[in-house]
């Protein structure tokens, strides 16, 4: 293309090529269009200030049209929906038209705007705050692909399934693929077939990293970014492969995301990734839907009769919540297996998970939990990172966690859908001594840190005062007392509640007499969950990928009678409406 043409002229020329008759049958012209798009992408990456927002939107539209031609997209409804997205590519419209929500959660809009302007950013947002939307919405708006660094290979398929379920074009690249399949996906990525590409940090030093050089990247998102820091509670050596990420991929903006990071860890993330002057967003660490409880284990120092022995107490708590998803964390591998077997003996669908298991066995437990084939995972800290399951209703710590950061990460896996969820901590001084033994063989600096973290955690568990207030205070945030979301502010006897839950039919009948409408809604919610499970099995995806519990509860409460009504429910976007709407409306009609 002549250099004398202005940028607008280049875009208009590209537009005329794409409107030329016979484009689908003309591979040479398609290749010419690809080459020009790639040239403009590289120009944008080197000098984003040249490109106005309308120009970027037009280029996104043109890239989408070329992808549709290349991939042979069928279905007038899908094409119309994608065209509408491309014509109205602002973040709010994408939020509604793709994800089915009308308002952003705190921090989402700010981070999206920063990376869309070409600036690096760091987002420290609690689990359940919707971090994934901060790179998925730009993936729909940017002209190129978004590379997502994800910590666990075993979870990538679920992440791709979740993105695909709302109509995003996504794939993953990792060692689970054959070399031929990996090469094929890289070729498709280079041709612009994907909006999202997930990869493990290990792969960036191998063939995946080399192959990505041919992909036009618009953004790199690093999930669980605290794993790169030696100061973090969950340091992973593989994340050191990301050092200098910014330099390796030129001027592509980098978005680092994590749920927990002290100031020291945040500084290390920025230095290790090589990003400069990033926009910072630190969200509130307070999650009021999490009900925090701390229970000293019975023993010589605590002879309270209100707390049964730990195994008996956990059995009571779990059997009172039969059918609900939960995670129980244990300090040792032996404890996970023994407790899981004990719960199964009491009618609980439970499985053990720890690092000593074969990878295939761990994956089977993880998949079974994601698909609601089992309700409870009894695990060491090896389980949970990157878990997107939104309907975990409780997290129980059989043993005290090793640090407040680790505790916050682990309880954060409950209630991602915003619904009330219990976080129950059993603790004792003997666990502090156990961590001291772990620290004995570590280098002095590491040993001191392990001992210090364990004592901080014990003080958090033992001392009086609002638990949420003290928890967010650890991360440098001030807040008033929560008033109703912890056992210090709103005491309740968990075991009396558990006993009530086991009264079964009598308790449910009493509730029905008091709250008939609520009980009818609960019954409909149960039917909706059953249908969700059937659809998930048919599509071979986790149940929460279809709709979250929060969305199902809204459907049960609103009882929509048309596709338009269903589309108004938060969490129902056009793509999911097309995929699942008819089946859910049919159930609702039968329930009338």
Answer yes or no: is 345 within a domain: yes
Domain around 574: 506-591
Which CATH number goes with the domain that contains 519?
1.10.150.80
Cα end-to-end span (Å), the chain: 63
Out of 60-69, 72-81, 180-189, pick the least confident: 72-81
Higher pLDDT, 536 or 237: 536
Q: Are residues 238 and 353 in the same domain?
A: no
Answer yes or no: is 133 within a domain: yes
Q: Are residues 492 and 557 in the same domain?
A: no
* Strands 392-397 and 121-124, sheet pairing: unpaired
Please provide the DSSP assignment of 127-193 as one string: TTS-TTHHHHHHHHHSSSEEEEE-S-HHHHHHHHHHHHTTT--EEEESTTS-HHHHHHHHHHHHTT-
Answer yes or no: is 215 within a domain: yes
Share above pLDDT 70 across residues of the chain, in percent, rounded to a whole number: 82
Last residue of a domain, one of 265, 282, 299: 282
Q: With contact defined as beta carbons under 8 Å apart, do 320 and 498 qualify?
A: yes
- pLDDT higher than 90, residue 432: yes
For residue 310, what are its two tokens? 């730990």
Widest pairwise Cα distance in the chain? 85
Number of folded domains that form the chain = 3
Q: Are residues 496 and 510 in the same domain?
A: no
For residue 7, what are its two tokens? 């940028």
Answer yes or no: is 196 within a domain: yes
Q: Are residues 494 and 513 in the same domain?
A: no
Q: With contact defined as beta carbons under 8 Å apart, do 287 and 259 qualify?
A: no
Q: Are residues 512 and 494 in the same domain?
A: no
Answer yes or no: is 14 within a domain: no
Last residue of a domain, one of 233, 265, 282: 282
Q: Are residues 460 and 545 in the same domain?
A: no
Confidence of residue 277 (pLDDT cuts 50, 70, 90): confident
Q: Which tens digit of pLDDT belongs to each residue from 466-492?
A: 999 999 998 888 899 999 999 999 998
Q: Are residues 177 and 240 in the same domain?
A: yes
Q: Which tens digit of pLDDT belongs to each residue from 76-98?
A: 333 334 433 443 348 888 999 89
Q: Are residues 383 and 237 in the same domain?
A: no
Which CATH number goes with the domain that contains 146?
3.40.50.300
Q: Are residues 215 and 244 in the same domain?
A: yes
Tell me the pTM. 0.72
Cα torsion angle, 316, 319, 325, 330, sign: positive
- pLDDT higher than 50, residue 510: no
Answer yes or no: is 13 within a domain: no
Q: Are residues 517 and 425 in the same domain?
A: no
Answer yes or no: is 30 within a domain: no
Question: Shortest CA distance to 116 belongs to which of 92, 87, 83, 91?
Answer: 91
Q: Which tens digit of pLDDT belongs to each residue from 362-402?
A: 889 988 998 889 999 999 987 766 577 888 999 999 999 99
Q: Are residues 159 and 251 in the same domain?
A: yes
Last residue of a domain, one of 282, 311, 333: 282
| Average pLDDT value over all residues in the chain | 82
Answer yes or no: is 11 within a domain: no
Q: Are residues 129 and 144 in the same domain?
A: yes
């Amino acid at each position: 293309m002549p250099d004398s043409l202005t940028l607008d002229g280049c875009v208009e020329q590209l537009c005329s090529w794409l409107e030329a008759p016979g484009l689908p049958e003309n591979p040479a012209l398609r290749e010419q269009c690809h080459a020009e798009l790639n040239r403009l992408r590289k120009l944008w990456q080197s000098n984003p200030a040249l490109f106005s927002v309308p120009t970027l939107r037009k280029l996104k539209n043109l890239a989408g049209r070329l992808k549709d031609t290349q991939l042979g997209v069928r279905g007038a409804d899908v094409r119309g929906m994608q065209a509408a997205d491309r014509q109205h590519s602002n973040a709010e419209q994408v939020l509604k038209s793709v994800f089915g929500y009308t308002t952003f959660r705190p921090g989402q809009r700010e981070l999206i705007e920063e990376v869309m302007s070409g600036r690096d950013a760091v987002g420290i947002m609690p689990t359940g705050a919707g971090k994934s939307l901060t790179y998925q919405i730009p993936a729909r708006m940017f002209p190129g692909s978004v590379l997502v660094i994800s910590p666990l290979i075993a979870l990538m398929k679920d992440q791709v399934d979740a993105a695909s379920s709302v109509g995003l074009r996504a794939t993953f690249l990792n060692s689970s693929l054959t070399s031929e399949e990996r090469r094929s996906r890289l070729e498709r990525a280079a041709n612009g077939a994907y909006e999202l590409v997930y990869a493990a940090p290990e792969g960036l030093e191998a063939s995946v990293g080399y192959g990505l050089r041919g992909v036009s990247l618009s953004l790199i998102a690093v999930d669980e970014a605290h794993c790169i820091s030696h100061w973090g509670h969950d340091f992973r050596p593989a994340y050191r492969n990301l050092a200098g990420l910014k330099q390796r991929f030129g001027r592509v903006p980098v978005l680092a995301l994590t749920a927990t990071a002290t100031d020291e860890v945040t500084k290390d993330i920025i230095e290790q990734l090589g990003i400069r002057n990033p926009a910072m967003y630190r969200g509130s660490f307070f999650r009021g839907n999490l009900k925090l409880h701390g229970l000293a284990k019975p023993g010589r120092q605590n002879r309270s009769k209100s707390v049964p022995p730990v195994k008996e107490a956990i059995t009571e708590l779990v059997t009172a919540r039969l059918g609900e998803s939960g995670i129980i964390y244990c300090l040792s591998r032996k404890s996970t297996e023994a407790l899981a077997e004990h719960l199964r003996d009491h009618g609980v669908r439970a499985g053990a998970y720890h690092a000593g298991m074969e990878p295939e066995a761990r994956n089977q437990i993880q998949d079974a939990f994601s698909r609601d084939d089992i309700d409870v995972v009894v695990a060491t800290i090896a389980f949970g990172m990157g878990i997107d399951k939104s309907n975990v209703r409780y997290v129980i710590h059989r043993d005290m966690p090793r640090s407040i950061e680790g505790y916050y990460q682990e309880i954060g896996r409950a209630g991602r859908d915003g619904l009330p969820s219990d976080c129950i901590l059993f603790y004792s001084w003997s666990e502090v001594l156990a961590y001291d033994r772990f620290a004995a063989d570590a280098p002095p600096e590491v040993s001191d840190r392990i001992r210090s973290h364990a004592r901080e955690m014990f003080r958090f568990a033992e001392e009086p005062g609002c638990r949420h207030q003290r928890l967010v205070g650890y991360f440098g945030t001030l807040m008033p007392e929560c008033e109703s979301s912890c056992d210090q502010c709103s005491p309740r006897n968990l075991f009396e509640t558990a006993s009530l839950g086991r009264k079964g039919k009598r308790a449910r009948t009493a509730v029905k007499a008091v709250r008939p409408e609520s009980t009818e809604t609960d019954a409909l919610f149960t039917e909706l969950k059953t249908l969700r499970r059937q659809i998930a099995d048919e599509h071979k995806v986790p149940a929460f990928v279809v709709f979250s519990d929060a969305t199902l509860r809204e459907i049960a409460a609103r009882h929509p009678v048309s596709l338009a009504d269903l589309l108004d429910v938060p969490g129902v976007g056009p793509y999911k409406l097309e995929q699942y709407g008819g089946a859910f409306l049919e159930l609702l009609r039968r329930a009338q």
